Amino acid sequence: MTSYSYRQSSAMSSYGGMGGGPVRFGSGGVFRAPSIHGGSGGRGVSVSSTRIVSSSSGGYVGGRGGSFSGALTVTDGLLGGNEKITMQNLNDRLASYLDKVRALEEANTELEVKIRDWYQKQSPASPDRDYSHYFKTMEEIRDKILAATIDNSRVILEIDNARLAADDFRLKYENELALRQGVEADINGLRRVLDELTLARTDLEMQIEQLNEELAYLKKNHEEEMKEFSSQLAGQVNVEMDAAPGVDLTRMLAEMREQYEAIAEKNRRDVEAWFFSKTEELNKEVASNTEMIQTSKTEITDLRRTLQGLEIELQSQLSMKAGLENSLAEVECRYATQLQQIQGLITGLETQLSELRCEMEAQNQEYNMLLDIKTRLEQEISTYRNLLEGQDAKMAAIGVREASLRGGSSGGGSNFHISVEESVDGKVVSSRKRES
């Protein structure tokens, strides 16, 4: 707190009195200007009113011991009513302004403390923001995710390879199946040919039997005819006649028999050779086709086993893929939730920071406005101080004139001492004196 006080004092010198006795006349005047107590940062400011006191006293005169004293007091007479109201309004305005400044500085201090605490909490070095113990877990989870992604890619590649192999085996199976169906169709055709050949063989055998029966029948008839001719020749009389020789029927029959037997034997040999050749060809084709069928059956069995193994492996890989996808989905969901929470926290903190910035800007604007008001008020106070100092000088001159009037009546001279003291919180920090 700063205090300005102005003190003016004057002392009259002693002169000899009438009647040989000492005469002492003293005149003193005290003038106190308005002291202004003020300061920023929440310290109060008060402006006191002006009070001027002037007094004079007379000493002893002669042996009568007569004394004369007089006092002149001027209190609140130099300022008019409007000036007093103006000073009171200024005092009230300054007090309210300083109260507001004090409240704003307290709020600003609280906000600075809050902002400092918030920055300390949000700084990476803050214990609350120390996430270093999570980094190892995050690295492990990131490595697991990377390994799971690599395994998933490998499984997908294996699945694609298995699918391509399955498609290749399916094509081979379809080709082998078409070949088998073609071979079975050929076998069925050969079986029909074999049936036809069997029927033809049976027909030829029946024809051979019929020819044998006919041959036997012809032999029997021939023997019977020969017996009849023999018996007839035995009972006849030999009559020799000169005639042309007759036809030898026996020889002709024998020749015919030989011709038919040769034709039948030839036909039999031809049919038998054709039958044996066809049968051998059919047997060879059946054997080759049977071997091919057996090979195809073996290959089909192997392909079926391979296909079953690939299907089992495909199912296991699909189940593994589903499990990995579920695990990946859970990890992504969990980290998405954590990321959303962190994002929400960041958004909230950014909102709080924006609000704090807006509030700080508003308070800064208000502080600047109040600082401007304070500057203007200080200028006004300085102006009023200068005015009051001018009035102090006038009052000092008035006091001097009053003292000179009092001293002039007694015929003595006077000296004036004007002292200016500046005090802070009740302590005098500077003092100036001047005489007149």
pLDDT digits (tens, 9 = 90+) for 343-389: 888 888 888 888 888 988 988 898 888 888 888 888 888 888 888 88
- Domain stops at, among 326, 347, 371: 326
Examine the domain organization and report whether 67 and 156 are in the same domain.
no
Per-residue model confidence (pLDDT) at position 57:
38
Measure the CA–CA gap between 399 and 31, rounded to whole angstroms: 9
pLDDT at 160 over 60: yes
Q: What angle do CA 47, 49, 51 make, to 5 degrees?
A: 145
Residue 408, in any domain of the structure: yes
The answer as to whether 279 is a domain residue is yes
| Domain end residue (candidates: 326, 348, 369) | 326
**Statement to judge: residues 292 and 156 lie in one domain:** yes
> How far apart, in whole angstroms, are the C-alpha atoms of residue 177 and residue 311?
20
In a domain, 333, yes or no: no
pLDDT at 406: 60
Is the per-residue pLDDT at 423 higher than 60? no
Distance between CA atoms of 182 and 233, rounded to whole angstroms? 74
Chain CA centroid to CA 400, Å: 87
Q: Which residues pair with 71 in a beta bridge?
A: 55
How, if at all, do strands 51-58 and 22-23 pair? unpaired
Q: Is residue 118 domain-shared with residue 155, that is, in the same domain?
A: no
Share of the chain above pLDDT 70, in %: 65
- Is residue 316 scored above 70 in pLDDT? yes
Whether residues 90 and 153 fall in one domain? no
**Do the Cβ atoms of 1 and 98 come closer than 8 Å?**
no
- Phi, psi dihedral angles at 232 (to 5 degrees): -65, -40
Q: Give yes or no: residues 38 and 104 share one domain.
A: yes
Domain span at residue 61 reads 2-128+381-435
d(CA 431, CA 342): 66
| Three-class SS state of 54 | strand
Q: Contact 116/360 with Cβ under 8 angstroms?
A: no
The tokens for 289 are: 């086709």
The answer to whether the beta carbons of residues 45 and 17 sit under 8 Å apart is: no
Distance CA 48, CA 88 (A): 10
d(CA 100, CA 238): 189
In a shared domain, residues 112 and 218: no
Residue 268 lies in a domain: yes
> CA-to-CA distance for 69 and 406, rounded, in angstroms?
11
Taking phi first (over 0 means left), then psi (-120 to 50 degrees means alpha), and beta for anything else, what does residue 19 get?
left
For residues 278 and 412, state if they share a domain: no
Q: Which of 63-77, 93-107, 381-395, 410-424 has the lowest mean pLDDT?
A: 63-77
Same domain, 155 and 291: yes
* Same-domain pairing of 107 and 211: no
In a domain, 69, yes or no: yes
User: Is residue 175 domain-shared with residue 121, that is, in the same domain?
Assistant: no
Whether 318 is in a domain gets the answer: yes
Joined together, the tokens standing for residue 163 give 């699918």
Span 198-206, average pLDDT: 88
Domain assignment present for 342 = no
> CB–CB of 32/62 below 8 Å?
no
Among 326, 356, 372, the domain boundary falls at: 326
Residue of higher predicted confidence among 295 and 424: 295
Residue type, 98: L
Q: How far apart are CA 303 and CA 325, in angstroms?
A: 31
Confidence of residue 242 (pLDDT cuts 50, 70, 90): low
Lowest mean pLDDT among 39-43, 206-210, 364-368: 39-43
Taking only the tens place, the pLDDT of each residue in 46-68 is 333 333 333 333 333 333 333 33
Q: In what order do the strands lie in the sheet with 51-58?
A: 25-32, 51-58, 69-75
Q: Which of 155, 196, 164 is nearest to 327 (CA)?
A: 155
What's the total number of domains in the chain? Answer: 2
So what's the pLDDT on residue 234? 64
Supply angle C-alpha 44, 49, 52, rounded to 5: 140
Segment 310-314 long-range contacts (CB within 8 Å, at least 24 positions apart): 310/162, 310/165, 310/166, 310/169, 311/166, 313/162, 314/159, 314/162, 314/163, 314/166
Neighbouring C-beta atoms of residue 407, cutoff 10 Å: 21
For residue 277, tell me if it sits in a domain: yes
Model confidence at 186: pLDDT above 80: yes
Residue 320 has pLDDT above 70, yes or no: yes
On the CB side of 195, CA atoms within 13 Å amount to: 6
Are both 169 and 286 inside the same structural domain? Answer: yes
At 180, list the tokens.
Answer: 């088998």
Residue 415 pLDDT level (bands cut at 50, 70, 90): low
Task: Give the predicted TM-score (pTM) of the model.
Answer: 0.29
Instruction: Report the pLDDT value the prediction gives residue 127, as an integer from 0 to 100.
Output: 58
pLDDT-wise least confident of 150-164, 266-280, 340-354, 417-431: 417-431
Examine the domain organization and report whether 201 and 276 are in the same domain: yes
Average pLDDT, rounded, for the chain = 72
